[in-house]
Amino acid sequence: MTQQAAPPSFAVISGEQVHRVLDGGERRVIEIVEETYRAHGAAWTVNPPSYFLRFPDKPNSRIIALPAALGGDEPVDGLKWVSSFPDNVANGIPRASAALLLNDHENGYPFACLESSIISAARTAASAALAADRLSRDRERPRRVGFFGVGLIARYLHRYLSASGWEFDEFGVHDLSAEHANGFRAYLQWADSCERITVHEGPESLIRSSDLVVFATVAAAPHVTEPDWFGHNPLVLHVSLRDLSPEIILSSFNVVDDVEHCLKANTSPHLAEQQVGHRDFVHATLDDVLAERVPVPADRPVVFSPFGLGVLDLAVGRHVYDEVRRSGELVIIDGFFHDLRRYG
């Protein structure tokens, strides 16, 4: 008779616990993200297409499933389930919420569920900070940064840029909501020693006055359409993916995290592909840049468009799980797996 194995345990990790692990650990998270991008480039990952759940009565909202598997010495599989409901902002709660499920690679059992909006923001910011560092090594490092969109992701991006050694002489801020723009200005005044912080009424002045432009909006379609605004060849972190017109994409040096993932779902690069019928305008992946396989020009706008890979969430989530377990604060749900006997 087959011996009954011990029931697997299942833990729940709260957002407060996630925050305690990640707060102050930005450099380690950037290292984890870089290691994961290199693993992805070496085909040590499985990262299927994301799946979008949309709603006829809420056309601007969606929930996305990101399944993934990360190989290596400590493999882990899992799923991020992340929602985007922009109308939440008017009700005083964040647009996005998320949960991350981690599965044991040996037996497939889920062993943890983590609050994941913080993990998602951290890995997004770490990815952008890593890209900003590597993409600016062959050009003068930007000293003027403009934030287009001022939600949670923008705040985390500022934190991760600062934690990785960036110093700025000037900040620019633009948002469709003057209240939110002024709130982000107040955050920057509190968090950074820079005294030059300008709230721009329109996008053109923000872009023209910034050497590093961060797009972190909820835009569903391109709303920035003038290539001339980028004539000073800034570095652009196009985190929200749908802000730039195909004409701007086609006139820039384009780096993505994964070509197949990024060129779908009507992202700006996907719209560019639809317009010209090819992908030759995608010049490199971030792994290509990390491995120095592709030189980055200084005489063109450089646009980094990261779709956001589920393996990044797995890597950061596993790090959080390991740290919480090491601290002795892991909350195990007794009896989560119940009827485990094959024949009763």
As annotated, the residues of the chain forming the CATH 3.30.1780.10 domain(s) are: 11-119+310-332
CB 258 within 8 A of CB 288: no
CB 135 within 8 A of CB 297: no
Residues 95-121, mean pLDDT to the nearest whole number? 95
- CA 118 to mean position of chain CA atoms: 11
Q: Give the pLDDT band of residue 290 (cuts 50, 70, 90).
A: very high
Q: Give the pLDDT band of residue 310 (cuts 50, 70, 90).
A: very high
Q: Which CATH code of 3.90.550.10, 3.60.60.10, 3.30.1780.10, 3.30.420.40 fits the domain covering 11-119+310-332?
A: 3.30.1780.10
- Report pTM: 0.93
**Cα Dmax for the chain:** 74
Token pair of 238 as six digits: 């196009």
Q: What's the pLDDT score for residue 4?
A: 57
Residues 95-102, mean pLDDT to the nearest whole number? 94
pLDDT higher than 90, residue 317: yes
Amino acid identity of residue 317, one-letter, is: G
1-15, 22-36, 246-260, 302-316: lowest mean pLDDT where? Answer: 1-15
Q: What's the pLDDT score for residue 8?
A: 81
Q: What's the pLDDT score for residue 192?
A: 87
Q: Give the pLDDT band of residue 5 (cuts 50, 70, 90).
A: low
Angle (CA) 80-86-87 rounded to 5° is 130
Q: Give the pLDDT band of residue 144 (cuts 50, 70, 90).
A: very high
Q: What is the mean pLDDT of the chain?
A: 94
Q: Give the pLDDT band of residue 89 (cuts 50, 70, 90).
A: confident
Token pair of 298 as six digits: 């200084």
**Eight-state DSSP code of residue 244:** B
Tell me which residue has tokens 């050694």: 165
CA-to-CA dists, residue 344 to 338, 340, 341, angstroms: 11, 8, 5
Q: Give the pLDDT band of residue 207 (cuts 50, 70, 90).
A: very high
CATH of domain 126-305: 3.40.50.720
Q: How far apart are CA 250 and CA 272, in angstroms?
A: 7
CB 288 within 8 A of CB 221: no
Q: Which residues partner with 200 through β-bridges? A: none
Residues 146-160, mean pLDDT to the nearest whole number? 95
pLDDT higher than 50, residue 1: no
As annotated, the residues of the chain forming the CATH 3.40.50.720 domain(s) are: 126-305
Q: 220-279: per-residue pLDDT in tens?
A: 899 999 999 999 999 999 999 999 999 999 999 999 999 999 999 899 999 999 999 999
Q: How many residues does the chain have?
A: 344
Residues 163-176, mean pLDDT to the nearest whole number? 94
Q: What's the pLDDT score for residue 2?
A: 53
Residues 53-77, mean pLDDT to the nearest whole number? 93
Share of the chain above pLDDT 70, in %: 98
